Structure 1
Amino acid sequence: MKLKFDWSVRPIVNVIGYLRGSEEPDKIIMTGGHRDAWTFGGRDPISGTVSLLESARVIADLAQKGFWPKRTIAFASWDGEEYGLIGSTEYGEEFAEKLQGEMVVYLNRESYTAGNFSAGGSHSLQPFINEIMREVNLPGDSLTIYESVIKRVDETKLVTHRGRKDVRLGALGSGSDYAVFMNYLGIPAINFGFSASNGIYHSRYDSHWFFTTHGDPGFVYGEKQAELVAIFLLRMANADVLPFTYSSTTETIDRYLDELDEELKKRDLNESIHLAEIKAANAELHATATVLDGELRRISEMSAAEIDRQVDPIKRLNNLLLKAEQGFLYQDGLPGRPWYRHQIYAPGFYTGYGVKTLPGVREAIEKKDVREAEQMSKVLTETLDQVRQTLLDAVVVAAAITKSRSKHTQK
């Protein structure tokens, strides 16, 4: 066998289009996917690129008709993803400070095929994702995407939120362009879409013929995905109060802590490693998040005229909600991996794309490193406290808004 490699250096190019917001142009709702491929790339990534461009076309058409988003919507086409997420990572690292102050959320959309729907990402967005899943039907079906998922998953994949069943989001590790936003910058990130087993991943069989014959004949799933993405972007861009629900995050962290208890039992480490301080910090965070949920619900019931009277306080509230996820970052990162700073989600040290939740503590337990587990338990507790403090500040601002409403009503 004779192998030939091309190790030459070439430039890569990210292409980003912005539709500037009419009221808060400095706040960005971004969606993106890569366009480079291993071979022909009929599915990975061109299917996602085409679907994303359709979402952009629809939103641009609405803007031309006068329906302009309040916040900026950005569409990114990343280069160099297959070589190690280079395009998105370089962008995130170069503009880190600006993005942490301006980017509200990143939605990752690359390839898809006709099949089942799934979603993963920041759990503060779990109720919001369920909301938009209820808005779009499957191709040629009376069932919504939400109803189709509910029918095929078991109860462990569901959670009750405000009296209704919601589908749990999965957790994100790595393997696509959301990595820099979530793992390094602490910006809420989501990855969703349709998929099915196909056997052509990163091969020369990933062609236009395969995709139009087997992947998604007629592009009917691509149309639904474009619709879902457009709804996500427009609702995020136009929401009076950003739709983050941190009680969903704390409920999820509780489940992860239950998993760590089982890991401790399996390794007979119950007497050596203790999770009590983490659990207490998360309980306090959950209590704060629950109070904030109530205040946000009251704000959501305000009329447009009442909202208009509270523009500046609501901007302050949204800035705190935007900042909250960054509280999960630890600036020194994970042991041996300083770039991975998020303490709730990260790819595993040995799992490639696969996620490890509460990664600092979990991986220390897995290798029976008691000292490291104690150190990372302290780090995790501190990050939970950081987020709690931000949410406490948000509660104060939100309560002032609702109190002002009560005073105005009394007058």
Structure 2
Amino acid sequence: MSAQYRPYRDEDSCDGVENDHLNWNDNEPGSVQIYEKTTEDLPFKSNRRFILSALGVISISIVIGFIIGYFSHSQHTTCIPNISVALHSTKNENLRIRQRIIDNVRSSRIEAFVEEFSSEPRLPGSARDLYLIKRIQDEFRRNSFDKVETKNYSVLLSLPDEENPNFVEIIDSTDRKPLFSSLNKVQNDKNKWSPFCAYSPKGDVVGDIVFVNYGTADDYQLLQDKYNITFDGKILIAKQFHLAADEQVLWAQSRNAAALLLYSEPADYVDDKRSESQLPDDAVRSDSLLWNGLGDPLTPGYPSTHYALRVSAVAMSVLPKIPVQPISVHTAYELLGLMGGKEVPKEWAGLFNFTYRLGPGFQNTSLKLRLKVNNKLVNTTISNVIGYIRGDVEPDRYVILGNHRDSWVNGAIDSAGGTGAFLELVEVFGGLVKSGWRPRRTILFCSWGAEEFNLIGSTEWLEENYKTLYSRAVAYINADIVVVGNGSLSVDASPLLYNAIFNATKEVPNPDTNDEHTTIYEKWLNSFPIMRNSTQLIIPMNYLKNHFIKDEIDDYDSEIFEGKNDDLIDRIEGPSLFQSYLNSATIQIRPNVRQLNARSVYSPFFTFAGIPSLEMTYISFLNPKQQTLFSLPPIHTQYDDFKRVSSVIDPGFKYHKAVTQIIGEIVRDLSDSLFIPFNLLHYAQVLQDLSSALQSRLLSLNSSQGVDLNLLNSAINNFTKAALKFHYNQEKADLRDPMSIRRINDQLLLLERTFLDTNGLPRNIMKKHVIMSPSEILHSYDDTFPGLIDEFAILSRSDLKGQNWDIIRAHFSILVFTIQSAANALAEI
């Protein structure tokens, strides 16, 4: 008999029959063995021809009857794993599920979830937070999730002292009598709370005030060089916009300031269509001053379990050293209007109807500014709630969808909107499970706690499960701030997820029915296109012409990367999946996908664990290049409420619905496709783009100091060739062989991890991803490798240029090695 594949254990009973289940969870990539190959002849005892014929007919009937019966009944969860895996391990996904997900998303349910979750502030560990934890647990159970788990961690938080609120006042230095006082209490229709900067130390500071614009390095340098202003012992006041609060306090500390006040300048939030600010006078925002990617400051690098060692000395070393307090637009108006000193540079002035001045101090020199901060550090139990939908074929492969539950205030945008999308997909996927559908891989729905403080909930869970997730996590999809406007889509993603996001947005209709673009992809492409020069495309056109058309894949040589041809890709006579990947990676105009940043929940998953990550937000066209988490008008203020979302941002919640549909399709694609839908050629193109940017950077420095770009380009070329060969062989794989499918998926799953370096970036050992970790130095997005761009930024201001070049050369060699290692990981053997 010819060679065939059979299960090791071939019991063929279904409902009600006890059997040993395959323990997929104990297997790591490449180690699962379900099938063995056999060439043995089937034994037959009788020589009677009619008995043979009868047995043949009976056997065929049984097999046909079993298959018909198996596929006709809707629930396979009680079938023993051997039979289920044998029938489904080589079966592709049911694409009809895609349309069911898109059709089943309801904007009315999303709206109801957002209204419920944004009705009150929800600080970690509060009574409201505890109620919502149970609420999410109930949603998981009601929707027939296979497992519901609550993970608790004891962490260090910082909260305002409600009995002793923080305040700012102007006093007469002779008798300390307050002439103006602003208690930091804010109230809306239902709630009262105290805006604060988490982890600001206590302090009672009196001194002169200095205006420092946005508090960037350039702002301080200008004040020092041109205006001869010193900052020692001064209380600084800065606009909140270009930098996050934690970055602003670090710069203030570096200049020996005594304290820092933060306010939102109305001029930064002007709607060009109406020429007026979107920021009310009493708006004041809260922020965390700790944002270092370590989660709980007492347990850096390890989960804050009950048995963990707390390292208070480490925590104290990373916490801010000076008091910091946010103030309202109105309070800023009162303080800035009384300031003395020289007039500010023209470009620093805002919308207030007076002359902005730098200080130091007030026009009346007998007046001083007093800041009193009474924040307290508290040990708090926080909770993550995890719901599992077990995969039918590869249950040990995890697609993770996350949303953070906490907020400073009501938090309708940040992040009840994401919670609405999250819980709606719980409903949709739960309905599919109830109807008998199962994804190929396990889906985890994760509700995080204490994310606003330092991404604490997700970071602690990642630290606790790091070794498991390293070998099993397919991707992390974040759903937090999903809608802030009705302009177009903005996406941050790993290159491995470009394919999934492009395909998903092509399936979801444009929610703006008055727009000419029919799908979200078309609108996104029209709004934020990125154009590539054909000479920078990585696909070796001469090689394709000479080899792929002939159905050959061997005989690589360096010359294949020399000529290129724009239109040849459309004429390739090749396999469909391979050609699709080529077309997607070499298209010259595509929607812009932003680099991943350090401000989102996905950051530790990507930069520390190498898990491909993605986040998307529907944004307005108000300063789209500046729309970051800390520059959106109502974020973290009392005006981030349900009324604003439902009446101004997204009436009818049709944009929330659209983003939910996209996320749902991406989760389905990643969890149910036969092959994990990662297009490695997108990564090859990104590497090429980063190398070109690095070359421009070196040219601008007029020096390479031993950095040989030929070595980098050679490694990138090797990765590109390996990716081409990998996808070509993937197309030719024997789809009847489940182990062949598993091997390919293992290589795809672990590819992102090959870009990690155990020693981390030169300026941050916790950031392991040497290709696309966010920069430690620059707050803006950059287009080259983070470990190098940080050193170049320091080089431009450093007197220790020789030492910087030593670091650059060392990290460059690591970069080349890492990319070559990624190429090697794609080999078959």
TM-score (norm 2): 0.45
CA distance in 2 between partners of 1:387 and 1:130 (Å): 24
Residue 412 of structure 2 aligns to a residue whose secondary structure is coil
User: What's 1:192 paired with?
Assistant: 616
How many residue pairs align between the two structures? 387
Q: Counterpart of 1:292 in 2: which secondary structure?
A: helix
Q: SS of the counterpart of 2:607?
A: helix
Report if the CA contact (8 A) 1:134-1:147 is conserved. yes
Partner of 1:105: helix, strand, or coil?
strand
Compute the displacement of 1:327 (Å). 0.5
For each residue in 1:366-395, what CA deviation from the matched residue of structure 2 results, as whole angstroms up to 9, or x when unmatched? 3332111110111111111221111113xx
CA contact (8 A) 1:119 1:190 kept: yes
Could you tell me which of 757, 762, 775 is aligned with 1:348?
775
Q: Which moved more, 1:190-199 or 1:351-360?
A: 351-360
**1:319-339 deviation digits (Å, cap 9, x = unpaired):** 111111101000010113110
Shift of 1:111: 1.2
Q: Using the alignment, how far apart are the partners of 1:355 and 1:89 within structure 2?
A: 25
1: CA distance between counterparts of 2:732 and 2:810?
40
State the shift of 1:157 in Å: 7.0
Give the structure 1 partner of residue 603 of structure 2.
179
Of the three residues 279, 282, 288, the one matched with 2:713 is 279
Question: What is the percent sequence identity of the aligned residues?
Answer: 26
Counterpart residue number, 1:108: 478
Q: 1:372 aligns with which of 797, 807, 813?
A: 807
Contact 2:778 2:790 (8 Å CA) reproduced: no
Q: Does 1:252 align with 2:672?
A: no
Aligned-pair Cα RMSD in Å: 2.0
- Counterpart residue identity of residue 613, structure 2: A
CA deviation string 1:335-369 (max 9, x = no partner): 13110000111222123585674111222233332
Cα deviation, residue 40, structure 1: 1.1
1:207 counterpart letter in structure 2: D
Q: Which residue of 1 aligns with 2:409?
A: 39
SS at match of 2:595: coil
Match of 2:704 in 1: 270
Residue 825 of structure 2 is matched in structure 1 by: 390
Among 442, 446, 461, the residue aligned to 1:76: 446
Q: Would you say the 8 A contact 1:348–1:356 is kept in 2? A: no
Residue in 2 aligned with 1:328? 755
- Unaligned 5+ segments in structure 2 are 1-167, 169-371, 538-565, 567-580, 623-631, 796-803
| Farther off after superposition, 54-63 or 158-167 | 158-167
**Helix, strand or coil at the partner of 2:616:** strand
2:658 is aligned to: 224
Which structure carries more helix by proportion?
1
Q: Contact between 1:157 and 1:168, CA under 8 Å: does it hold in 2?
A: no
5+ residue gaps, structure 1: 300-305, 397-411
1:132 alignment partner AA: A
What is the rounded CA distance, in whole Å, between the counterparts of 2:583 and 2:781 in structure 1? 32
Number of the residue aligned with 1:399? none
1:267/1:377 CA distance change after superposition, 3 Å = same
CA radius of gyration, larger in: 2
Match of 2:635 in 1: 201
Give the 3 Å change call, closer, same or farther, for CA 357–91 of structure 1 in structure 2.
Answer: farther
**Contact (CA 8 Å) 1:174, 1:352: kept in 2 or not?**
no
Contact preservation (8 Å) 1:345, 1:358: yes
The corresponding residue for 2:672 is 238
Q: Equivalences for 1:17-36 in 2 at 5 Å?
A: 17-36=387-406
Superposition pairs of residues 134-145 of structure 1, within 5 angstroms: 134-141=506-513, 143-145=518-520
Could you report, residue by residue, the CA deviation over 1:149-195 in whole angstroms, capped at 9, with x for unpaired residues?
12223442798963464434221021111111110001111112312
The answer to whether the Cα contact below 8 Å between 1:29 and 1:72 also exists between their aligned partners in 2 is yes
Higher RCO by CA contacts (8 Å cutoff, separation 6 or greater): 1
- Of stretches 36-45 and 343-352 in structure 1, the one that deviates more from structure 2 is 343-352
1:156 maps to: 531
Cα drift, residue 128 of structure 1: 2.4
CA distance in 2, matches of 1:42, 1:287: 47
Which residue of the partner structure matches residue 258 of structure 2?
none
Other-structure match for 2:428: 58
**Equivalence for 1:407:** none
| Distance in 2 between residues matched to 1:346 and 1:16, nearest whole Å | 27
